[in-house]
Amino acid sequence: MQTLAQTLATQAIPASLAQLLQTLASTSVAISNAVRRGALAGVLGSTDHENVQGETQKKLDVITNEMLKDALRADGTVRALASEEEDFPVVLGDHGDYLVCFDPLDGSSNIDINSLVGTIFSVLPAPQGEVNEQSFLQSGRHQVAAGYVLYGPATMLALTTGHGVQLFTLDPQSGEYLLTNPAVSIPKDTAEFAINMSNQQFWEAPMQTYIGDLLLGKIGPREKSFNMRWIAAMVGDVHRVLSRGGIFTYPTDHKNPQKPYKLRLMYEANPMSLLVEQAGGKSSTGYQDILDIQPQAIHQRVAVILGSANEVATCLEYHSLDYSEEPEL
């Protein structure tokens, strides 16, 4: 099997980008070891701090964030980074071709129950001159690479540099990522959906109607049965979509009018959308392709619908209908 380094060498990407991706991969091996040791390393539980999102930080949120910061600072190819755990961008130096956005430990609420977690990252070109928050506000179409690492029964890396999606599995004996799927392809049709049903009463009318029709199964207008799967970690739910198809959505809701969206654009929605599109799927907010959004802030949140192309297209048809005469939900 090809190693990650050998696979990157076959792609038409700059040596500096290959180096950066190797650094991210190497750091994820160290993160994987920390996650696996869990209580043995004293890394479980929460801190007394909240991040900029207003979320209580887990110990591993802080540890993994520092691991990635240290590795990227030493790498030399990165000018600045933006993280879910940092209030503002962190400038690393005067030189380097890239900006990196990341969620160091997606699904951290799963840590203490030994369920799936992961790292998500997005690589953008660094502009000339001084780097600040504005430098990061590039649409997802500008990403030169994106990926995630899933820390599960096996540690797996999904990666795109704009040449399709490759899936690697960490060999725990050699510490190398080995290529296990050179061309990930998402089936266009599916009978699986992933959504947090506890928010159902707060969704907009289009999503209420769409999910309601899925739940009706064969007796409903879709005339087929659907299964629901929900991991409560975006990295796990999207990995399932890449592995066997499906539709994943965290839609707009009005539970908290100040926060109608859950997922962050720069380090969750954009990298996952690039992976899904490169594997033949589709992503949208319900009204706009996610990769076309012009960001307004590094911690901006958006609605997310992504997965099998035909099913996403069907969901978007519901969003194109006029619900003005429907009763209020």
Does 129 show up as a binding residue in the annotation? no
Contact between 148 and 119 under an 8 Å Cβ cutoff? The reply is: yes
Q: What is the pLDDT of residues 267-312, one digit of tens each?
A: 999 999 999 999 999 999 999 999 999 999 999 999 999 999 999 9
For the chain, where do the domains classified as CATH 3.40.190.80 start and end? 192-319
> pLDDT value at position 41?
55
> pLDDT value at position 137?
98
Cα distance between residue 207 and residue 318, in whole Å: 7
Does 139 show up as a binding residue in the annotation? no
Does 61 show up as a binding residue in the annotation? no
Listed as own residue / partner, the contacts of 52-55 with beta carbons closer than 8 Å and 24 or more positions apart are 52/84, 52/85, 52/86, 52/87, 52/299, 53/84, 53/264, 53/299
- Which of 151, 136, 123 is CA-nearest to residue 22? 123
Helix (H, G, I), strand (E, B) or coil at 231: coil
pTM of the model: 0.93
Does 308 show up as a binding residue in the annotation? no
CATH of 4-181, one of 3.40.1260.10, 3.40.50.1260, 3.30.540.10, 3.40.50.450: 3.30.540.10
- What are the structure tokens assigned to 321, written together? 């209908």
Does 84 show up as a binding residue in the annotation? yes
Does 196 show up as a binding residue in the annotation? yes
Does 223 show up as a binding residue in the annotation? no
Does 108 show up as a binding residue in the annotation? yes
CA distances from 124 to 66, 82, 267, 280, 294 (A): 20, 11, 11, 22, 14
Class of domain 192-319: alpha beta
- What are the structure tokens assigned to 90, written together? 């962190």
Contact between 177 and 4 under an 8 Å Cβ cutoff? The reply is: yes
For the chain, where do the domains classified as CATH 3.30.540.10 start and end? 4-181
Helix (H, G, I), strand (E, B) or coil at 39: helix
In order along its 329 residues, the chain shows pLDDT tens digits of: 999 999 999 999 999 999 999 999 999 999 999 888 766 555 555 554 555 565 556 688 889 999 999 999 999 999 999 999 999 999 998 889 999 999 999 988 787 788 899 999 999 999 988 999 999 999 999 999 999 999 999 999 999 999 999 999 999 999 999 999 999 999 999 999 999 999 999 999 999 999 999 999 999 999 999 999 999 999 999 999 999 999 999 999 998 888 899 999 999 999 999 999 999 999 999 999 999 999 999 999 999 999 999 999 999 999 999 887 554 43
